Structure formats: C-alpha cells, structure tokens
Structure 1
Amino acid sequence: MSGPLLAIDGVSAFYGNIQALKTVSLDVNRGEIVTLIGANGAGKSTLMMSVFGNPRAREGTIRFDGRPIAHLSTHHIARLNIAQVPEGRRIFPRMTVFENLQMGAALTGGDTFDADLERVCTLFPRLKERLTQRGGTLSGGEQQMLAIGRALMSRPKLLMLDEPSLGLAPLIVKQIFSTLADLNAEGMTIFLVEQNAFHALKLAHRAYVMVNGAITMTGSGRELLAKPEIRQAYLEGGRH
C-alpha cells in the first residue's frame, strides 16, 4: 500500500463548544518515528485520542493504511493493528505482569503468544523477572515497560505513545527511548507525543510542533532541535 500509514488531514475537534484541534494535518509514513511536541495543554493528547474516535473529528479525515477511520467506533479502530500506550500507563494494577500481557494479546487470537511474550521479555528483561508480580507493585519505569509490552503483544502496525517519559527518572527515560529506537530499527512505525522535546526530537525522523491546537512548525527532528525558538521554548534547562 502506498501513501502514509497514518494520514490526518484538516482535522478539527471540540470538547463541547471549545475547539481543541484546529485543522490539523499530520502524516506518519511506514517505518518512521514521528514526534509531536508542544507545551502541556497544546492539544497533543487530544490529537492522539481523536485517532481512536474520542473526541471525534468534526471536520477533516483520518486514514489508517489508506482506509478512512474517523467514522469507526473505538473498538473497531483498535482491531486495525493500532496500539496505544496512554498517558499515565493505565496498566491493570491488580493483574500480574503476565496477565497484563495476555490482555494485550487478546486481539491476536493467541497463536503467536509464546513468541510475542519472549520478544517482550527480551526487550524488557525486568518484566521477565516479574511475570508473577501484580502490575500495581511495579515501579513507575517498570509500569511503563509493561504498558509498552502490552501494546506490542497485539502485533501493531502502528505504535502510538502518549508522554512515555512522564514522571520517570532520567536513566529510565533513556532506556525507554533506546527501546523505541530498537523497535523502529526492526521496522516498527511509531507516533510519539512528548513534552520531553530533547529526547523526542533526537529520536524522531520527522517532528511537528503544536501550539493551541494547531500545527505551527514541522521538519526533521534535527532541524527542529537546531532552531533557536524551539530550544528557547522547549529545551532551556531541559536536557533530561
């Protein structure tokens, strides 16, 4: 299939009468890491959630793998090989690590479960040591690893992550971003929403900047890292 894997074109979305997204256009090509950066409240998470239909795009189109999806229900969209790692991780705290990973594999039919589990445990050896432990007893970094691992168990074509570095120690942040680079090297397409602009732009092939619900700038990760206005707005004292 030619064309972007995810194509967002002229999307506007609202919460009641408040316009959260203003004719946003953004593409994620196969095999890319695309990052969306912006201040807290800029509309980054709203854009990611609009891909899953909540909130719905009131104007514009969203296509995944060439197919319009803006009219589909959230559970139908989840079956299209898109996996989301939400802000705040949202693992199942009372379930064990193993059970959380089973939940991630629910859409695959289970035929590849053992191979997928082995892959996740290779990516995150810490999880392998804690398979029988309840998710809620893990550290914040381990919970983020589990949230990513759970998403990978569904064998997604597109992995979307919302603020994966939020609240984590700098060393763990480096590990998470290193793992994302490894996944991309294996061919995984990644769409990343991040406030940690330094790490996100270093990782990204391409990046977009969002201000007040609108895209204000785009370019390669390196191009945006080099721009004085980006450094001033997002990177001053921010090399985490």
Structure 2
Amino acid sequence: MSATMEGPLLQVRGVKTYYGKIIALKGVDVDVKRGEIVTLIGANGAGKSTLMMTICGSPQAREGSITFEGRDITRMPTHEIARLRIAQSPEGRRIFPRMTVLENLQMGAALDKLAYFDQDVERVFTLFPRLKERIGQRGGTLSGGEQQMLAIARALMTRPKLLMLDEPSLGLAPLIVKQIFEAIDELNRTEGLTVFLVEQNAYHALRLAHRGYVMVNGLITMSGTGRELLEKPEIRAAYLEGGRH
C-alpha cells in the first residue's frame, strides 16, 4: 500500500487523554494510511476505545495532535469531525432501538441530506443481506449480530473516508464474527475503504489488517504488519492462546 504524498490519512502524535486526573492515554502515536486496514489490539481497559473516542473529539486530547488529511482536528467538536467523513461504529453498537432498520440507515445518510440514499442502501444490503430482510423491523428487536451489522451499515451511509470500528466482534457468535470481518475485508479490497479497527479478537483482527498496534496501559508497546505481530511469541502468549475462533 503506497501512502499519498501528503502522508498518512490519519496521524496521531503524542496524544494524552485524561478522565479527570486519571491519565488514560500516555502519549500515543498512530498512523493510518489511505487504503489500509489498521488494527489496534490490547486487553480490556488498555485505552483502545479511549483513543477512538479521542480521535472523534470526545474526550478531547489534552496534549499532542491529531491530523486528518493534513488538517489539525485535535480541538474540533465531534459534529465537525463527522462532517470530514470520519465515521465511527462505537462499542456496544448504539443503534436507535425504537427506529426501524430503514430509519437507522436514514439517520446515517442525513449528513448528505439523503442525496445518495437509494444507491447506498443497495450497497449495504448487498454487504449485509440480513438487514434487507429486516428492513421494517425495530433496531432493538434485532439479534446482537444483526445490530452490529446495522451499526456498521449506518456508519457506511455517511460515505466515510475513514471507518472506525470499535470491538465489532464483541459478544457475537463465531459465524457472525466471520461474516463481519469478511464484509470489512470486501469493503477495503473493492472500494479501497480505509479502516481503523479496535479489537480484542486479536487473531481475526491481525489476519485482516495490513498493520497493527498493541496497546498496554495507555501506551503503544509494539507495531508491525498484521503477519509480523501474529508471529510474535509474546503476542501469541498474551492474546492468542485459546482465543482462536
């Protein structure tokens, strides 16, 4: 994957994030180049979700910088960051439970005032045929796997330049996890979509990713290609023993 001349699509440098007086991120450096799948793995509570939320502006970084397409977004409010085509599918799915599948997708498309709605709906239904079957069903009545598909589909309706996925496999059956990872791979291969993936399922995530980072206690401790990290004994011992699905 060749980077564009202006450097990474997303660049995080020296980012420190606090919750009150507690430091959650202790000076994080991460790059995501255009057209890459980059994964961030680490134990629960390592700070992975905090990094993703900090990139989206809530909470804001207290130190360091975050740039997107060469533009400093460190102090931007969340809604302005979303307008730059950074879409997040947050941990815990957070769809609108009382709205139907179709209405949830319309909420995603609202950024463009539904201008591309019909073609984008067809695109996500091709990717997740199960959602088409559930089009009139309320989000809250879907299975966990269907809700995760809807959360990703809603993010895709914003036509993102960067899709950020926080724990998309959490709590899902292995077959559903496989379908979701295959969909991410297809989006990247066929459309060149740039994906930043936060995952506890290290085996699936590193197999999928071009590059990966390991986070421990708010610090990046290791980085490399997905394959390099998969082969490291310390990664296997910490994240992969008994963890394959």
On whether the aligned pair clears a TM of 0.5, the verdict is yes
Letter in 2 for 1:228: P
* TM-score (ref. length: structure 2): 0.97
Q: Percent identity?
A: 75
Residue 111 of structure 2 aligns to a residue whose secondary structure is coil
Rounded Cα–Cα distance in structure 2 between residues aligned with 1:3 and 1:166: 32
Q: Are residues 1:167 and 2:155 paired?
A: no
1:66-85 map, 5 Å: 66-85=70-89
In the other structure, the counterpart of 2:157 is 153
Give the C-alpha shift of residue 109 in structure 1: 2.1
Rounded Cα–Cα distance in structure 1 between residues aligned with 2:59 and 2:27: 14
In the other structure, the counterpart of 1:234 is 239
Give the C-alpha shift of residue 111 in structure 1: 1.4
Rounded Cα–Cα distance in structure 1 between residues aligned with 2:230 and 2:130: 32
Partner residue of 1:217 out of 212, 222, 231: 222
In the other structure, the counterpart of 2:125 is 121
Unaligned segments of structure 1, at least 5 residues = none
1:28-47 map, 5 Å: 28-47=32-51
CA deviation vs aligned residue, 1:98-124 (integer Å, no higher than 9, x gap): 000000001012211100001011101
Rounded Cα–Cα distance in structure 1 between residues aligned with 2:166 and 2:218: 16
In the other structure, the counterpart of 2:112 is 108
Residue 112 of structure 2 aligns to a residue whose secondary structure is coil
In the other structure, the counterpart of 2:193 is 188
CA deviation vs aligned residue, 1:188-226 (integer Å, no higher than 9, x gap): 000000000000000000000000000000000000000
In the other structure, the counterpart of 2:56 is 52
Q: Are residues 1:94 and 2:91 paired?
A: no
Give the C-alpha shift of residue 53 in structure 1: 1.3
Rounded Cα–Cα distance in structure 2 between residues aligned with 1:108 and 1:28: 25
Residue 26 of structure 1 aligns to a residue whose secondary structure is strand
* TM-score (ref. length: structure 1): 0.99
Rounded Cα–Cα distance in structure 1 between residues aligned with 2:113 and 2:141: 28
Partner residue of 1:204 out of 209, 212, 235: 209
Q: CA RMSD in A?
A: 0.7
Rounded Cα–Cα distance in structure 1 between residues aligned with 2:74 and 2:56: 8
Unaligned segments of structure 2, at least 5 residues = none
Give the C-alpha shift of residue 54 in structure 1: 1.4
Residue 244 of structure 2 aligns to a residue whose secondary structure is coil
Rounded Cα–Cα distance in structure 2 between residues aligned with 1:64 and 1:237: 37
Give the C-alpha shift of residue 184 in structure 1: 0.4
> Structure 1 stretches (4+) deviating beyond 3 angstroms?
none
In the other structure, the counterpart of 2:181 is 177
Letter in 1 for 2:136: T
CA deviation vs aligned residue, 1:33-90 (integer Å, no higher than 9, x gap): 0000000000000000000111111111000111000111111111110000000000
Rounded Cα–Cα distance in structure 1 between residues aligned with 2:169 and 2:77: 29
Residue 239 of structure 2 aligns to a residue whose secondary structure is helix
